[in-house]
Amino acid sequence: MAQNGSWSSSSGGSSSSSAAQSRGLATANGPQEERLVVVVRVRPSDESSDHCIDVISDKSLLFDDGGKSRPRQYSYDHVFKESDTQERVYKKTTAPLVKDVLNGLNAAVFAYGATGSGKTHTMLGPCRKKGTSTATERAATAAYDVDANNNESGLMVRAIEEIFQNIDNTSNNGSKVSISYLEIYNELIRDLLNPGGPLELREDNRGQRITVAGLSEITTTSRQEVVSLLLRGNKARTMEPTAANQTSSRSHALLSITVQTKTPLGTKQGRLFLTDLAGSERAKKTKNRGKRLQEGAHINRSLLALGNCINALSGGARYVNYRDSKLTRLLKEALSGKCKTVMIAHVAPEAKHRDETKNTLVYADRANSISTRLQNSVYIDEVKNFPTKHYQNLVTELREEVTRLRSKMLTERPRSGAAAAAAAQPTRSTEEDEKRKTELRYLREQIVLTFKQQMKLRRKLLEAESHLLGLELDAERQHMIISHWQGRMGKLYDSPADDDIESEGAIALKNAWGELSAIEKETRRYKEIRERTEQELEMCRQKGVQLEDELPERITSDEERELLALLCRVHELEADKVSLQAERLARQAELRRRDLQLLRAERQRRLCEDIISSQRRLIEEGNVELPDELRELYGLYQQEIHAGVVTPSTSYERKLPPIYTAGSESPGSSSSSEWSPGSPLPPIDSQILSAFQDGPDRHMGPLVNPRLPKLSATTTPSTRRGTSIRMAKHAPNNT
């Protein structure tokens, strides 16, 4: 889940076991690509009833299919027995992710399973039901234990407690914690911290970042405040009794915890998403009717969409449809994005729940093969100021290295006793002198070589960053093309020229999607280049530091110091050269970004002109009486679009065909008019066209000051509103 400010058939047991054993739950400093961590928790049950599950180890269990076949073994990253505590579940699943969130990464935990399998107990804690008479009242007044000191408190409360504990231990006064809490009920998103009307999902122009418009994100200063907000949100959550569960959650709940930490490199931002999914239901068992039946249908539909996504991801499908449900759109980042994710599958061990348990185990087994590519720590300061901020940091590092080298050379005295004694000797053999000069020459060459390597790697890093930024802008441009053609193919057109627009649009869309695929491939390649270059640069930097530490022991004369001072000056000039190159790349990137903004503005301008022309045509064809304020606005519009090509002698009435009032003859509707109803804009006469051929001085002529009609004193606001309403009724759908 992102906020405004930013959420196959079952494989065999042996393959799942090898996949599970190849990775652990500890995720700190892990690889850039990881598999989704899947654990299974078995709910406590009545020992007198028959069981269909037998936990045989910490990583595997046996499932009895009721005599249809022999028991089947499933293996996962971890399997929790019925006796395992909330503390153990938290330490194995969520605790490692909290450390990653504090380091600026994104992480997610979601509870999956059938209704009544214990998902809400794991995420929130035990339910405390007040003494009410009916099941409906008990469900409506149910509260979950959010006391951090309780041994049975859920993962949400424990994660909040550990986050604030880490902040207190590090004494980082610059840290900030904020939370948001929402539910998806009947495919409608509701804010649990600020209950109101349904909220809408929004996507960025690349379709990657999902935000919930209007969702409140509250900044907190203490764990008590967060726990209080969590309790308030739980009370607002939709819960109703069913035959299968007396306190059944009728919605999916998603809690987002954002942690911002100030560091010397910027402000790190990490997010932890904790999701309590509603359980899948069978109407035969839950005995739902009416409203409960409708709720169950929405729950099953969203969980089916989630299952389809898991199937597609585990099968390596090229395209995964996340748009079938708002739940899958919010969980997109957790399933396939730049996020460390843990799935906790909940199952009931009783034999009467055999079908639901089998489905949950199968989906969990498929999720074992899903991989996610992690994103490096997010610095929000760099995001806001990229690319200038990144280039400035790179140049600053260069200048600091030159300054440190000069300081070591000019200020530090020889630390070696042998070197000092050699400097004190009045005479020295030719062999020793040559040996000392050779060693110093070798040291100087190594320093020069190391510095050149650093410069080469930094230039390579700059080029990679520049290419990545260019690819980002190219991707944004392709998304604009896709959005444009999808919008046009969804509109109705009157002109015969638009008969072939679907075929043209289909070709353009196909090309745009192809370009996007190539851009994504190139983006991955340059990110790998950037990562390798950063590692090589760090190794080269460490080697340079070792060579710098040897300088004070090797330099024994002022001439040698002066020689190395000139060398430092050369390095400083190289740093200036990189600074200029970085500034040039930053300006090029900014120019490309502005070009893209201009392109978007031009597209919006053309749409506005299309709307204005269509409305004007409707006014003329319908002989609608034109209000004075609209006439004045239309005159301003004429002035704006012709200000650059009209001379003072040009007649204002000839810029565009005039709009006539009701009852007057309209030449614009006659056969002699040059303006056809299908044209996007009215024509420009020959005087204006000749202005383009007279040179730039005519093109950039002075602004036109037409005599606009005055507003009528007798026109009342109600009359103007009535005229606007009549115009709106005639407006086409695409306006």
Write down how long the chain is.
Answer: 735
Name residue 518's amino acid: A
Q: What share of the chain is helix, strand, coil (3-state, %, to 5)?
A: 55, 15, 35
Residue 104's region, left for phi above 0, alpha for psi from -120 to 50, else beta, is left
DSSP conformation class of 71: -
Q: Which of 122, 66, 76 is nearest to 362 (CA)?
A: 76
Question: Is 122 labelled as part of a ligand binding site?
Answer: no
Q: How far apart are CA 478 and CA 476, in angstroms?
A: 5
CB 580 within 8 A of CB 465: no
Neighbouring residues of 524: CB distance < 8 A, sequence distance ≥ 6: none
Q: Whole-angstrom Cα distance, residue 13 to residue 439?
A: 64
Eight-class DSSP state of 5: T
Amino acid (one-letter) located at 687 = Q
CB atoms near residue 240 (< 10 Å): 19
Question: Hey, how many other C-beta atoms are within 10 angstroms of the C-beta on 636?
Answer: 10
Helix (H) or strand (E) holding 472: helix 430-489
Helix (H) or strand (E) holding 697: helix 696-699
CA distances to 628, 630, 636, 711 from 633, in Å: 9, 5, 5, 11
113 is in an annotated binding site: yes
Strand (E) or helix (H) holding 2: none
Distance separating alpha carbons of residues 545 and 405, to the nearest angstrom: 9
Residue 116 annotated as binding site = yes
User: H-helix or E-strand containing 24?
Assistant: none
Q: Report whether the peptide linkage leading into residue 195 is cis, meaning its omega lies within 30 degrees of zero.
A: no
315 annotated binding-site participant: no
Residue 99 — φ and ψ, nearest 5°?
A: -65, -40
Q: Is 118 annotated as a binding residue?
A: yes
**Angle at the Cα of 384 (from 601 to 322), degrees rounded to 5?**
75
- Phi, psi (deg, nearest 5) at residue 219: -85, 130
Pull the structure tokens for residue 592: 């490309």
What is the separation of C-alpha 51 from the centre of its chain, rounded to a whole number of angstroms?
44
**Tokens, residue 341:** 């994710």
CA 568/CA 400 separation, integer angstroms: 12
Query: Nearest to residue 707, comparing CAs of 655, 632, 642, 654?
Result: 632
Q: Is 117 labelled a binding residue?
A: yes
φ, ψ for residue 11, nearest 5 deg:
-80, 165
Residues contacting 574, CB < 8 A, separation 6+: 398, 451, 455
* Residues 448-481: b if buried by 16+ CB within 10 A, e if exposed: eebbebbbebbebbbbbbbbbbbbbbbbbbbbbb
- In the annotated binding site for ATP, the residues are 113-120
Q: Residue ranges for the binding site? A: 113-120
